[in-house]
């Protein structure tokens, strides 16, 4: 209920020009919030309440309005219910909303002004849940990266920067250790990050490009592209940058960029050249940043880009 109340009152002030007032509740022994809109000749008030406390909350809010304003007032209650609504409250100005079914069960004439706000809240909530399901792999990869970063931060005893020893112990790309048979480092290095800024930028990029790849290629092909690009990134770094100790998801993200480049190329007649130009600009910009900023494994980026592009071009001729 607290979350609903917070979002509802926020939208009430931003979208419907209400302002907020707080009053002390003798029943709850704390301050409660009340949305207020001055309509000129009358004051319109809105409270959010559970069905079990509807009567007392309505009575206290109404007493506050009567004492705070020298105008007639109408008080509307947004009543939140988890099951069946069984309250026989004398208050007729109400909107009854089912938290379980996420829908309006009843709305009085005076409360209809609140319907667009409630419907917008439901739409936002539904859209967020649908995106989590629709782009499950992208959000799962982000979650895994974050969890591994938390583990590395705890082990390193530093949340901002992870020390090199910790990164090596957890699976960074180190040629000497790979030569000793630890080939798992080709993939584990892609889930490690050297610091908070490093993981934030990589996860933001993964969120943006990942949902596109998941939508275009589908979850299974997306997984192949991502993990193959991660391995390809480590492989080229292993060959051309043997002294470097490398970590990060950026090689895999570059592979996703390569996959979207191939998608744009194959469908250039339908989506136009602007899309291709945008992808190329993003790739060039990120490579340029890698060439000018120290401690970035550019060969890893290029390796991921090449593998991602090749996988998309050779294996997925039809999308």
Q: What is the rounded (10 degree) CA torsion for 69, 70, 71, 75?
A: 30
Active site residue 140: no
Q: What angle do CA 192, 194, 200 make, to 5 degrees?
A: 85
The active-site residue, picked from 156, 234, 237, 301, is 301
**Residue 186 to residue 159: CA distance in whole angstroms:** 24
**Residue 141 to residue 147: CA distance in whole angstroms:** 10
Using the structure block, give the residue that is written with the tokens 């705890």.
Answer: 154
Active site residue 193: no
Which residue from 105, 144, 109, 145 is spatially nearest to 122, judged by alpha carbons?
105
**Residue 162 to residue 247: CA distance in whole angstroms:** 11
The full DSSP string for 178-210 is HHTT-TTHHHHGGG--SBHHHHHHHHHHHHHHH
**Residue 141 to residue 151: CA distance in whole angstroms:** 15
**Residue 253 to residue 317: CA distance in whole angstroms:** 21
**Residue 171 to residue 196: CA distance in whole angstroms:** 18
Residue 147: exposure state from Cβ atoms within 10 A (0-12, 13-18, ≥19):
exposed
The active-site residue, picked from 152, 189, 237, 250, is 250
Identify whether the C-beta of residue 202 lies closer than 8 Å to the C-beta of residue 250: yes
The tally of CA atoms less than 13 A away on the side-chain side of residue 57 is 23
**Residue 46 to residue 55: CA distance in whole angstroms:** 14
Catalytic residues: 250, 301
């Amino acid at each position: 209920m607290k979350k609903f109340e917070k979002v509802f009152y926020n939208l009430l002030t931003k979208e419907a020009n209400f302002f907020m007032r707080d009053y002390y509740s003798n029943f709850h022994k704390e301050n409660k919030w009340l949305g207020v809109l001055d309509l000129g000749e009358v004051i319109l008030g809105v409270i959010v309440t559970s069905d079990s406390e509807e009567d007392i909350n309505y009575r206290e809010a109404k007493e506050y309005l009567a004492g705070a304003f020298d105008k007639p007032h109408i008080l509307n209650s947004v009543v939140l219910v988890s099951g069946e609504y069984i309250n026989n409250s004398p208050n007729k100005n109400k909107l009854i909303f089912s938290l379980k079914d996420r829908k309006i069960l009843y709305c009085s004439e005076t409360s209809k002004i609140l319907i667009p706000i409630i419907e917008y809240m439901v739409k936002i909530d539904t859209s967020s849940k649908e995106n989590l399901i629709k782009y499950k792999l992208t959000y799962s990869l982000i979650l895994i990266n974050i969890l591994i970063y938390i583990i590395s931060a705890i082990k390193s005893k530093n949340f901002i920067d992870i020390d090199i020893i910790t990164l090596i112990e957890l699976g960074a790309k180190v040629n000497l250790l790979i030569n000793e048979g630890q080939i798992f480092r080709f993939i584990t290095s892609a889930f490690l990050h050297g610091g908070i800024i490093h993981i934030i930028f990589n996860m933001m990029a993964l969120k943006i490009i990942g949902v596109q790849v998941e939508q275009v290629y589908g979850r299974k092909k997306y997984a192949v592209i991502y993990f193959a690009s991660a391995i390809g990134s480590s492989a080229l770094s292993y060959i051309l940058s043997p002294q470097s100790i490398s970590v990060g998801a950026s090689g895999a993200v570059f592979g996703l960029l390569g996959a979207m480049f191939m998608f744009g190329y194959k469908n250039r007649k339908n989506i136009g050249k602007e899309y291709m130009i945008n992808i190329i600009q993003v790739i060039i910009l990120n490579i340029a940043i890698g060439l000018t900023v120290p401690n970035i494994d550019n060969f890893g980026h290029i390796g991921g880009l090449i593998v991602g592009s090749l996988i998309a071009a050779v294996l997925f001729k039809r999308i």
